[in-house]
Structure 1
Amino acid sequence: MGLFSKDIKTLDDLFVHQLQDVYYAEKQILSALPKMIDKATAPALKQGLEHHLRETEEHVRRVEQVFEMHGAEIKTTKCPAINGIIEEANDVAGDVEDKQVLDAAIIASAQAVEHYEMTRYGTLVAWAKQLGRSDCAAVLEKTLNEEKAADRKLTSIADGGVNREAA
């Protein structure tokens, strides 16, 4: 079912579709993060990514919880956007030999992922509220806040020395 599929007739249908999209994205991120952790050399970056890996495991559980709360089947729908972001991250990381520059590239790639997730979770929170599902919105908002915090942490690590060392 594509985003503009005739299977999406209501905001509820759209909400479930976006939930499937973010569920797929979180699972792809779970797969990609260990590779980023292995390539990172800055201790603060490695530690931050490890922390976010644990958070991402919780994000998957929360999305599953929202599916259940909403009475929807727990399933994914392929998300070409996250696939593209992760593919680009892998391409860039494969092209960078200088470890300090690689750390800067990893931060940029991780922030692209965070920004995608913030967009999706922000939309899901708004739609859940519109659908009268403040219970679902509250669960999704926890994840949205963690994604925003992860983005701020990545900026702090970049500004705290990684970008300077890469230069």
Structure 2
Amino acid sequence: MKANNSLSPEELSSKLGKLFEEELKDIYWAEKALTSALPKMISKATSAELVQALEDHLAETEEQISRVEQVFQLLGKDPSAKKCEAMAGLIKEAEELMEESDEGVMRDAAIISAAQKVEHYEIASYGTLRSFAQTLGLEEAVSILDLTLEEEKNADLTLTEVAVTAVNLEAAGENEE
């Protein structure tokens, strides 16, 4: 374990160190994009539980952006973003689902579907970043990334709970017209 929790110049220039930095730029862009996408989902949701879950996650997302900035600082780098094509695609899909779904419970089900895809992407990203940080000996970054990873898992569980206890049941009762 490193005393100062930062990468040596040799480690930073290693292929894994560079990949870690690139993936960090990717998730930084993704989180920033979510701060614009989540309010749109919130405004179109009708379930009080779903609105609350999305509002809570928006607040967490803003904290997560600060944490990613902390990890950049540990690397001795200024935070910078690189467009995350995966997140851009997930957000576009969410927008299309919301447009194509009838207002109300069907749209809520679509929002949950889209939001869970986003959560699963974030879980994969933060899990990978955490593993890279661990391999690189960045124990402070591991702790920071682990906290965010747990928040993403909890957000996914909350969305599942909202879906199975209310929204999906109501949506299943609606008939095609």
TM range (shorter): over 0.9
2:16 aligned residue (8, 11, 23): 11
Task: Provide the residue aligned with 2:122 in structure 1.
Answer: 117
Partner of 2:78, secondary structure, is coil
1:156 aligns with 2:164: no
Q: How far apart, CA to CA, are the structure 1 residues paired with 2:50 and 2:165?
A: 11
Matched, 1:23 2:28: yes
Partner amino acid, structure 2, of 1:163: N
CA distance in 2, matches of 1:48, 1:88: 20
**How much has 1:71 moved relative to structure 2?**
1.1
Report the counterpart of residue 134 of structure 1 in structure 2.
Answer: 139
| One-letter amino acid of the counterpart of residue 108, structure 1 | S
1:26-65 aligned within 5 A:
26-65=31-70
- Detail structure 1 runs of 4+ shifted over 2 Å in the superposition: none
| Structure 1 counterpart of 2:149, from 144, 147, 153 | 144
Match for 1:93 among 98, 105, 108? 98
**Residues 4-34 of structure 1: per-residue CA shift (max 9 Å, x gap):** xxxx861000000000000000000011000
- 8 Å contact kept, 1:128–1:134: yes
Does the 8 Å contact 1:114/1:148 carry over to 2?
A: yes
Q: TM-score, normalised by structure 2?
A: 0.88
Q: Spell out, residue by residue over 1:106-149, the C-alpha distance to the aligned partner (whole angstroms, 9 max, x if none).
A: 00000000000000000000000000101101001100000000
Moved more, 93-102 or 156-165: 93-102
| Residue ranges of structure 1 left out of the alignment (5+ in a row) | 1-7
Quick check: which has more Rg, 1 or 2? 2
Distance 1:22 1:159 in 2: 29
* TM-score, structure 1 as length reference: 0.94
- Aligned-residue offset at 1:84: 0.3
Distance between the aligned counterparts of 1:98 and 1:48, measured in 2?
19
Query: Shift of the alpha carbon at 1:161?
Result: 1.0
Question: Aligned pair count?
Answer: 160
Deviation at 1:69, TM superposition (A): 1.2
Residue identity (%): 49
